[in-house]
Chain A
Amino acid sequence: MEPFYHTLKRIYVDMAHAETKKNQKTIGTYCVMAPPELIYASGAVPVKLCSGNYTAFSIGDDIAPRDACPLVKAVAGFKQTGLMPVYEDCSMMIVPITCDCKKKIAGMLSERCEVTTLHIPATREDKDIEAFMNQLYDLMEKLENVTGNTITYQSLSDGFRKVGYAQYELSEFIRLKKQMPYLIRGSHAMAILNSASYMPADEWGKALHKVNLSLEKRIAENKTVTSKKLPRIMLTGSPIVFPNIKIPLLIEEMGGIVAGDETCMGERGMWDPAVITDNSFDGMISALANRALRPCPCPTFADNSQRIYRLKQLIKENKIQGVIYHVLRGCLVYDFEYRRIEEELGKLGIPVIRLESDYNEEDIEQLRIRIEAFIELIKLKQAPEKVMTVRKDF
């Protein structure tokens, strides 16, 4: 776990710069739909800038309108203060326009830094993929200008290799994480996934490889983090971005385990690797465009039935007993999908609760009682243990 904690601590506590080689540029991204392969191909390092910082949020609260989501407020806050090196270092920021808040924040950020927006279509048809490919070609040109490097067939395939390696290790990690009884706590797993935002993919992959080896060792030695049958909870909904990880921590504090997640800073982020079906340069760009749009269960798309499919798949794979649906206040697209998902999962007998939250510590008690009751609800389906003692006095 060390390298991951180290990274999160460096960025958020020591307020250090992202680790780069000499003269290497960093490119900020705000969504999983900005392809990291292309950034590596230009010789730069991508840094995911979606933020869960409470201080930045309270500053951004005065800048962004009241109903904007806390994630965007936190970004606005960082932009205003200019204190976070990871933000200040960026030579360019890529903002996929997944919602109205992102659109406006892109405009705000452009006052300080070069910003490229990526238009995200409402559907995922062939013509949308083609249009997205054209955007990627434009983005490529901009990246070349910013970094002064040319993106070649070779450098792009290297980019694919780097990201692919991290994705491979991640799939191994997810396979090991599923083992029951558990080898690793879900909140720790989320810390690992979140730290991917600030580490180069190959290094993150290497560090994850070590984690995977140690998990394999735990299997061999029969070491698990808990022997109890903890209620297995899945998280979905609005992004859970470090350091706003109060919900996964509360779930595990109240005696559950985060056994899976369907959020964009979690397993979704790197899950589906880009698949190259055509070995040309155009084929690789097409693979990136396809990868960004087609498998993405983001509620920005008009029809998002595949999110339900993906949730059902995760529920089956991870033997999920309950789903916590996280809604960041003001995050409308996720809130919209709650009803349908509650209905669909209800048919499977999986209870779902909606937890609305913000970037502050004030609602922890309200969240705690809901999470506690939710976990009890799952626990009570199992038979209680009997206790026999004689009481002397009160």
Chain B
Amino acid sequence: MNKYYIGLDGGSTYLKAALIGRGRVIDTMVRNTGIDNDGTARKIAKELCKRNSLSASDIGYIMATGYSRKVLEVADDDISEITAHAYGVRLTAPKEYRPGMIIDIGGQDSKIIYLDSSYGVKNFSMNDKCAAGTGKFMEVIAQILETTIDHVGPLSLQATNPCDINSTCVVFAQSEVISLVARKYNRCDILAGMHISMAKRIIKMMKKSEKGGDILMTGGGALNTGLHHAFEEELMRDVYIAQYPQFNGAIGAALIASERG
């Protein structure tokens, strides 16, 4: 009986995999992509099955998504990240979420996806040729402030007087942050300022004509509590966070796989 499906999300640094069956997420796994994308994908699929006592024949269909989706030959087909994320939230969104908008903050790009009431993709916007508003941006700033990406969220929540950061470009923002550090601004205030500037930048991308439904955050950026807080403040409304935010793409791909196999 084929009843399990695997979604592979080949990102620029990590390869994420999700195993789903009977309409729910069973397991997830992440590995460094390395130079052999397809080899890593095969290994991760094997391990995922082993850990859940499944054999290859139990897997009905494998769907790839993400940056390296075209080279993952182990997959039966591939799908773009946008469609995958839109599908993923069907399993990862909290129960009270009414489909409307997804904000996905990835490592290399950020995107906004607009959904209709039955989770179909209506439209989407992506940031253009720029790393500002992405995970990479947070990483760069965290490094300057001698902290790691896991800590930037909690630290920023301690801010009392968030700094103004105007630059929309990573390189310029970096020099702006360095000058704030030189002027002895508090690290927490700088981080809070960074989150506000990121949130503002992404909100600018939103289409004004798409208003219905709730907002949900996915991608690694959703794990950043500071950024989440900044979004809520700037939008003046609740922003939901998906379950397994980093695996949302892989889960979506697996869900599409389940429609095919």
Using a CB–CB distance below 8 Å, which chain A residues touch chain B? 339, 342-343, 346, 351-353, 356, 363, 366, 369-370, 372-374, 376-377, 380-381, 384-388, 390-394
Contact = CB atoms under 8 A, between A and B. Distances in A.
12 contacts: A342-B207, A351-B122, A366-B129, A369-B81, A369-B126, A376-B80, A376-B121, A377-B123, A380-B121, A381-B120, A390-B2, A392-B56
Interface string B50-63: 00000011010100
Contacts of A351: 122-123
Contacts of A346: 209
Interface string B96-129: 0000000000000000000000001111101011
Contacts of A391: 56-57, 59
Contacts of A387: 61, 76, 260-261
B105 to A, nearest CB: 16
A357 to B, nearest CB: 10
Nearest to A378: B121
Interface in B60-106: 61, 74, 76, 79-83
A391 B59 CA distance: 7
Nearest to A375: B80
A346 B123 CA distance: 10
B59 A385 contact: no
Contacts of B121: 373, 376-377, 380
Contacts of B259: 384
Contacts of B42: 394
B46 interface: yes
Which of A369, A373, A387 has the most CB atoms of chain B within a 10 A radius of its CB?
A373
Given A366-B128, A370-B126, A374-B124, 13 more contacts: A339-B209, A351-B122, A351-B123, A356-B128, A363-B129, A377-B83, A377-B124, A380-B121, A384-B256, A384-B260, A388-B2, A390-B57, A392-B57
Interface in B123-180: 123-124, 126, 128-129
Contacts of B76: 387
Interface string B1-16: 0100000000000000
B210 to A, nearest CB: 9
Interface residues of B, number: 30
B66 to A, nearest CB: 10
Contacts of B120: 380-381
Interface string B248-261: 00000000100111
A380 B79 CA distance: 11
A61 to B, nearest CB: 16
B260 A373 contact: no
A187 B208 CA distance: 32
A394 B56 contact: yes
B107 to A, nearest CB: 15
B188 interface: no
Contacts of B123: 351-353, 377
A391 B46 CA distance: 12
B45 interface: yes
Contact of B80 (A339, A353, A356, A369): A369
A326 B57 CA distance: 46
A331 to B, nearest CB: 15
9 nearest A-B pairs in the assembled complex, by CB-CB distance: A373-B82, A373-B80, A377-B121, A394-B42, A376-B83, A394-B45, A391-B56, A372-B80, A384-B259
B124 A373 contact: yes
B88 to A, nearest CB: 14
Contact of B124 (A343, A353, A356, A394): A353
Which of A346, A376, A388 has the most CB atoms of chain B within a 10 A radius of its CB?
A376
Given A351-B123, A352-B123, A394-B46, A386 B261 contact: yes
Contacts of A373: 80-83, 121, 124
B3 to A, nearest CB: 13
B260 A376 contact: no
A339 B206 CA distance: 12
Contact of B209 (A343, A366, A377, A393): A343
Nearest to B208: A339
A353 B80 CA distance: 16
